[in-house]
Structure 1
Amino acid sequence: MAAELFSSEVEALLPKQTTPYITDLETLALGKRHGLATATYINPRDPARVERKCDFIFLQGSPPLEPVGTLMPNVYRDEDGTWCTILVRQFRPNYQGDTIEFPAGFIERNAGETAEGAAVREMEEETTKTGTVLATSPNLTAEPVPVGARLVGVLLHAVDKTGDEAGKQRLDKGEFAVEYKVPLLNLEGRLDDFEMAGIVIDPRVWTFAMGIRCALMLELHEAAKGVDVDTP
C-alpha cells in the first residue's frame, strides 16, 4: 500500500492547490496576537479519504500564505579577522527560560516593508550591528511545530554600527537581548556550553552549526572553487 500511495503516478495527480483537502476550520481560542484552531482535513495522498484533525497556532490578521517574519543567520568579521556569527539570548516565557537565537522579528507589511528590509531593521534593533543582504530563502515553514505562519530567512553580512549608533541596540521598552559574537569554527562547542547552562537552542542555529561541520568534514570549500556565490 505504501508503494502505491507514494508512487510517481499518484504524486503526479496531486493538485497544486491543496485547500479543498481542508474540510473545516474551527477557532478554539484567541490571545493577544495568536489564536488556536483545529483543522479537519483529508490527506491528499489517502485514497480512503479519512478525515483527520490537527490543532495549530495562527497569527491573527496575517494572510496564511504570506511570510510574517524573518530570521537572520549572519556572518561577521571581527577586529582580529575571525569570521563569527552574531547570536542573541532572550527570555522566552513559553520555554520558561532563556533561548539562543539568530536575530529575528516580524515584517511590517502595513508599512510596505520587505523581508530583506525587516532583516536589516531587526539586526539593528536587537544587536549593535547593521548588515547587508547576501541571500534570501524561499518561504519557510515552522514545521514540525504546528504554527500556521511562514518565515523568510535572510543571510546578512553583519558589520558594526558607526557614529551615534555605535555599540547601541534599539530595543522596545521592556525588551532585553544579550548579544554574543561566536567564531564560526567554535559555534558547535559554544552551543553545547549554552545547553549545559540551561539555555534552549533554536534549531536553526544548530542547523547552521551542522552546516559548518559538514562543510569542514567534506572539504566543500575546495569542491566549490569556481562556483558563483555571493561573498562578503
Structure 2
Amino acid sequence: MIVFDSFLVIASGKWVKLEKTTYVDPAGNTRTWETAKRTTRRANTDADGVGIIALLKRTLHKDCVVMVKQFRPPMGCHTLEFPAGLIDEGESAEVAALRELKEETGYKGEVVGVTPVTCLDPGLSNCTTQMVMVNINGDESENINPTQQLGDGEFVEVILLPLDEFQMKIDDLLKREKIVVDAKVYIFSMGMVQAFFKPRELLILKQ
C-alpha cells in the first residue's frame, strides 16, 4: 500500500505548480517525487480538460477528422493535436468540448461519446483529460464556412484529414514539416489503420 506523507510546493505560477511529493512505498521505504500540477482544476471535476475527436461528415466528401496545428512553447515547434482545452467552472466535459471546438475550429457539433478520466503523462504530472467524441454535420450552413473564435494570443490552424487515410496523411505531414504529433493522435491513427485495413490482425509496428 502507498502512504502519502507530504506535498511541498517548490514553485508556483499562474497555470502550473511544481510539488515535491513524499510517500512510503509498499516495501516501507520513504521516497520523493517531483510532480507538475495545474493550478486550474475545477472543484466539480476530476479532469483538467478535454480533447475532442471531431468527425466532419459532408455529402460527397470523405469523413474527415478535424485537427489543429499550433505552436507549443514547451516543445519549441508546432504540434498536430486534437482540439482541446480546459474545463471551466460549472462545465461538464461535454459542454467544455463543444465550446472549445467552436472556439478553436468554428465548427458546431453533437457529442456522441465521452471517455472516463484518463491521465496524460503520469510520470511527470497529475494532469488528466476526458476525450469527447463529436459528430459535425458539414452540410449545415454554420459549418460550411466555420469561423474560429480565438482568444488573444491564440494562433490555431485547422487541418482536415480523411479518416480512412489518417495515418498516411500524418506521416506525409511529418516528412514535409518540422512538427511533433500528439501521442493521442498517433495512437488513434494506428487504430484507424487497424479498423479499416487489418481488422483481424494483431497490430505490428514498423521496425
Does TM-score exceed 0.5, indicating one fold? Answer: yes
Q: Distance in 2 between matches of 1:100 and 1:145?
A: 22
1:177 aligns with 2:156: yes
CA displacement 1:2-39 (0-9 Å, x = unmatched):
xxxxxxxxxxxx6xxx6xx1112111111121101111
Distance 1:80 1:122 in 2: 27
Cα 1:214–1:114 shift into 2, 3 Å: same
Q: Which has the higher Rg, Structure 1 or Structure 2? A: 1
Task: Give the C-alpha shift of residue 163 in structure 1.
Answer: 4.6
Equivalent residues of 2:7, 2:19 under 8 A apart: yes
How far apart, CA to CA, are the structure 1 residues paired with 2:188 and 2:78? 19
1:56 is aligned, of 35, 40, 57, to 35
| 1:138-153 → structure 2 map (5 Å cutoff) | 138-153=116-131
Retained in 2: the 8 A contact 1:66–1:150?
yes
Does residue 1:195 correspond to 2:174, yes or no?
yes
Query: Could you say if the C-alpha distance between residues 145 and 179 of structure 1 is closer, same or farther in structure 2, counting changes exceeding 3 Å?
Result: farther
After TM superposition, the structure 1 = structure 2 runs for residues 52-201 of structure 1, keeping only pairs within 5 Å, are 52-62=31-41, 66-109=46-89, 112-160=90-138, 162-163=141-142, 166-196=145-175, 197-201=177-181
- Contact 1:140–1:152 (8 Å) recurs in 2: yes
Is the contact between residue 107 and residue 118 of structure 1 (CA under 8 Å) also seen in structure 2?
yes
Percent of counterpart pairs with the same letter? 28
Unaligned runs of 5+ in 2: 201-207
Unmatched segments (≥5 aa) in structure 1: 1-13, 221-232
Does the 8 Å CA contact 2:107/2:142 hold for their aligned counterparts? no
Residue 150 of structure 1 deviates from its aligned partner by 1.8
Closer/same/farther in 2, CA of residues 164 and 216 from structure 1, 3 Å limit: closer
Aligned equivalents of 2:82 and 2:22: distance in 1?
34
Change (3 A) 1:219 1:146: same
Cα distance in 2 for residues equivalent to 1:210 and 1:104: 20
Q: Note if contact 2:108-2:142 (Cα within 8 Å) is conserved in structure 1.
A: no
Matched residue SS, 2:74 = helix
For 1:97, the aligned partner's letter is: C
When normalised by structure 1's length, the TM-score is: 0.78
**CA–CA distance in structure 2, aligned partners of residues 42 and 75 of structure 1:** 45
**Cα separation, 1, equivalents of 2:128 and 2:88:** 14
Who is 1:229 aligned against?
A: none
Cα separation, 2, equivalents of 1:176 and 1:165: 21
Task: Tell me if the contact between 2:56 and 2:64 (Cα under 8 Å) persists in the aligned partners.
Answer: yes
**Aligned residue number for residue 4 of structure 1:** none
Q: Per the alignment, do residues 164 and 74 of structure 1 end up closer, same or farther by CA in structure 2, a change over 3 Å counting?
A: closer
TM-score using structure 2 length: 0.86
Counterpart amino acid of residue 190 in structure 2: M
Q: Are the counterparts in 2 of residues 194 and 200 from structure 1 also a CA contact under 8 Å? A: no
Contact kept? 1:129, 1:159, Cα under 8 Å:
no
Structure 1 pair 164–131 and aligned structure 2 pair: CA distance change class (3 A)? closer
Matching residue of 2:17 = 35
